[in-house]
Structure 1
Amino acid sequence: MLSAVLLAIAIPYGLRIYRIIFLIFPIARVIQPIEDFPYNCERFEHPLLEGCEDIWLDHQGRKLYAACSTIATRTGWSPGGDMFNVSARDQLDHISVMDIDEPGSDGLYGVRQLKVGAAYKDSLDLHGFDVRRIGDQLRFWLINHRPPMDPETGGPLDAFKVGANSTIEIFDLNQATNTLEHLKTIVSDAIVTPNGLAVDADGVGFAVTNDHTTKSGLYRALELLVGGGSVSYCNSESGECQIVTRENCNMANGIVNIGNGHFLVSQSGTGVVVAYQLQGEKMIQTGVLDLEVPLDNLSLDPEGNIFVAAFPNVRYLWEAMRNPYTVSSPAAAFRISPQALRAERPSNHEFPVLKVVEDRDGKRLPTTTVVVHDAKTNRLFLAGVTSPFIGICMMRSL
């Protein structure tokens, strides 16, 4: 009887260990050079384009917004990457903006940063974000990984022991003054280790992924093996949040809202994209797509395609995180076509997937944590949390 119990426990973990090895060491994975793909890709370097973990494309306004930092900060203070050195923060995190159809004389698309009010000038530690157009105004939901503080004394706490003080900050963009005006801070026990978020079309509800179950500690380090993380759902007006699913979560990362309560979530620890439907106070899993490669952020283009950032060789990813100026990790971007989204219960067969670009040798692409697609010009914009540049890929003429 005991042996049967031990076997029942060992088999799932044995399969998970095999899966982790398969993802980390690409023994059977074909990683292609960038020359195999029909794109001309260029690196765009500027101090305002360093460490951009997430980007969002305003297809209507023809602007690209990016949540950026500095390499010095990202390689020391990046809670999503288990980096908790508070002293590395230089308090220069910002939202950069580029006019994607106006390259300008310097070819940098008028890159500039949005201003913030004095109260938040040094208080942003950015990660994932989402934006919605509310009337004629853009509203930003920003994940903010502030250092932990003692609520009674206001003094600093040891982030290695307690993790980050993560919140969701909501801002409206005053386009006349190019300033983000703060509306609300959302604090909740359900916002544990936020990584990505996706806002409903009405700008009220939003879902946020937690890439771990705990903010710090030994169990956090074990979650790659045992699984962990969750998805929470919040109300922007009331500030209330609750965890709505832990099902099939393993380092829940990118998330997109595909309408009518349906969400897709990338699971970095298993290399799968999971489809969920919000039903009341729970998210119910409706399908799983296995991309068989470690994944990061998701984005949605106007044609309904999902674009997925991926890391084809994790060994180089770790090196690139430590030495971002000298090492670029192999990077890839996949497209999941919209016909997959028409199924009530998506399956692998209903999720046509295309690898749109890959850079085996790290020649052109950043260590990519996010990719967005401009359907109007068929360009790809790519950025990375510890990359000192962003990449723009233009389709070659046939």
Structure 2
Amino acid sequence: MAIYIDEPRKDGLFRMHRIRPSGYGPQPGDGHLDVIAMDAQVVDSTTTRFWLLNQRPLYDAKGNVDKSRVGANITIDVYEHRKHDKQMTHVATSWSPTLHSANKIALMGGNNFVVSNQRSAQTGLRRKLDPLLGGASLVHYDDWFDKYTVTPKTLPILGSIVRGQDDHIYIPSLVDDRIRVFQLQDDRTLKQVHTIRLGMPVAGLSVDSRGAIWAVGRSKYDLTGLSSTNTVFKIKNLEDRVFKFVTEKVMEDKNKTAIEAASVALHDVKTKRIFLGGHYASGITVCMPRG
């Protein structure tokens, strides 16, 4: 959906329209979108390129659902969209067995990206032990060498990652209260360089146009967000200070009346509005914090 946030209606809501995929192949499942997460790249003033983590339906060579396979069929589908158009055109698709439980993609420039795996595997006993033992990982894709590089599967269950304006990858956790900050190394691996503590698990992160990071915290380990209360934090990166990161609590919903099940908060610097949504949320909430 395209939401025109700069064109609010009299009722306070926004004009929107659906964007349909086009230009894919003719095979079964081609062009079918069941999007887990996405990132966007501004190509020019009228063109945006969408990088979609897509959980495509399973088909065999004859066009039937392949029931012999277990788990998700994750592809990275790239589409281009021109401003105000009601369709987007397929550009490319990438796939790797390393993307076994992908839950977020972060663009790194030059068609390179990082994908987070939320779990250690698609299925099995080890996956069930992930909340205790960890098992999440990061996957870096190098477009020049067409190569996927995976970090060790030692991270706790991850929320939605994001790339900061400092080119670091910020990794929230749904298990503990830490946001881990990673930096890309020359060998294309990712190394942890900082830790931010918020005092509660974090479902997802976003970055506004001024570089501030916005985090949705949950009062406990809760994959859906339906049984916990949510808090929105603002995190500033102070490069020239001893305390590198400063955190500020912006909103708290103890009674679960406004931001229940939220997993991401997007801040619009121009209008000072915060848009909240999530996989299990009933809709999009728009907030205007005081101060």
The bucket for the TM-score relative to the shorter chain is 0.7 to 0.9
Say which of 292, 297, 305 aligns to 2:204. 297
Q: What residue is the counterpart of 2:264 in the other structure?
A: 370
Q: Secondary structure of 1:253's match?
A: coil
Q: What residue is the counterpart of 1:125 in the other structure?
A: 34
Letter matched to residue 383 of structure 1: G
Say which of 164, 175, 182 aligns to 2:90. 182
Please list, as runs of the form range in 1=range in 2, the aligned pairs for 1:276-295 lying within 5 A after superposition.
Answer: 276-280=182-186, 281-295=188-202
The separation in 1 between residues aligned to 2:17 and 2:228, in whole angstroms, is: 27
Cα shift readout 1:48-102 (whole Å, capped 9, x = no counterpart): xxxxxxxxxxxxxxxxxxxxxxxxxxxxxxxxxxxxxxxxxxxxxxxx1211121
Please list, as runs of the form range in 1=range in 2, the aligned pairs for 1:121-200 lying within 5 A after superposition.
Answer: 123-136=32-45, 137-150=47-60, 154-157=64-67, 162-175=70-83, 177-200=85-108
Letter matched to residue 210 of structure 1: N
- Confirm or deny: 8 A CA contact 1:148 1:163 kept in the other structure: no
Post-superposition offset of 1:135? 2.4
Q: Secondary structure of 1:392's match?
A: strand
Q: What residue is the counterpart of 2:17 in the other structure?
A: 112
Letter matched to residue 55 of structure 2: H
Q: Percent identity?
A: 28
- Confirm or deny: 8 A CA contact 1:296 1:308 kept in the other structure: yes
The separation in 2 between residues aligned to 1:115 and 1:238, in whole angstroms, is: 32
1:97 has 2:19 as partner:
no
Q: Secondary structure of 2:172's match?
A: strand
Higher strand share: 2
Q: Secondary structure of 2:123's match?
A: coil
Q: Which gives a bigger RCO, structure 1 or 2 (Cα 8 Å, sep 6+)?
A: 1
Question: Where do 5+ consecutive residues of structure 1 fail to align?
Answer: 1-95, 321-327
The separation in 2 between residues aligned to 1:102 and 1:185, in whole angstroms, is: 33
The separation in 1 between residues aligned to 2:101 and 2:225, in whole angstroms, is: 24
Cα shift readout 1:192-243 (whole Å, capped 9, x = no counterpart): 211111112x342111111011011111111111111111111457653221
Residue 217 to residue 364, structure 1, CA distance change in 2 (3 Å): same
The separation in 1 between residues aligned to 2:125 and 2:58, in whole angstroms, is: 19
Deviates more, 1:265-274 or 1:383-392: 265-274
Question: Where do 5+ consecutive residues of structure 2 fail to align?
Answer: none
Letter matched to residue 40 of structure 2: V
1:380 has 2:274 as partner:
yes
Please list, as runs of the form range in 1=range in 2, the aligned pairs for 1:10-89 lying within 5 A after superposition.
Answer: none
Cα shift readout 1:338-363 (whole Å, capped 9, x = no counterpart): 21xx27xx99x432111111111111
Cα shift readout 1:239-275 (whole Å, capped 9, x = no counterpart): 53221x2375111232222246421111222231111
The separation in 2 between residues aligned to 1:131 and 1:186, in whole angstroms, is: 16
Aligned residues: 285
Cα shift readout 1:284-316 (whole Å, capped 9, x = no counterpart): 11011222312111111111111111222456x
- Confirm or deny: 8 A CA contact 1:264 1:276 kept in the other structure: yes
Q: What residue is the counterpart of 2:287 in the other structure?
A: 393
Residue 304 to residue 359, structure 1, CA distance change in 2 (3 Å): same
Post-superposition offset of 1:333? 1.1
Residue 203 to residue 383, structure 1, CA distance change in 2 (3 Å): farther
Deviates more, 1:367-376 or 1:114-123: 114-123
Residue 292 to residue 330, structure 1, CA distance change in 2 (3 Å): same
Bigger radius of gyration among the two: 1
Post-superposition offset of 1:156? 2.4
The separation in 2 between residues aligned to 1:307 and 1:180, in whole angstroms, is: 29
TM, length-normalised to structure 1? 0.65
The separation in 2 between residues aligned to 1:376 and 1:129, in whole angstroms, is: 23
Residue 375 to residue 133, structure 1, CA distance change in 2 (3 Å): same
Residue 318 to residue 382, structure 1, CA distance change in 2 (3 Å): closer
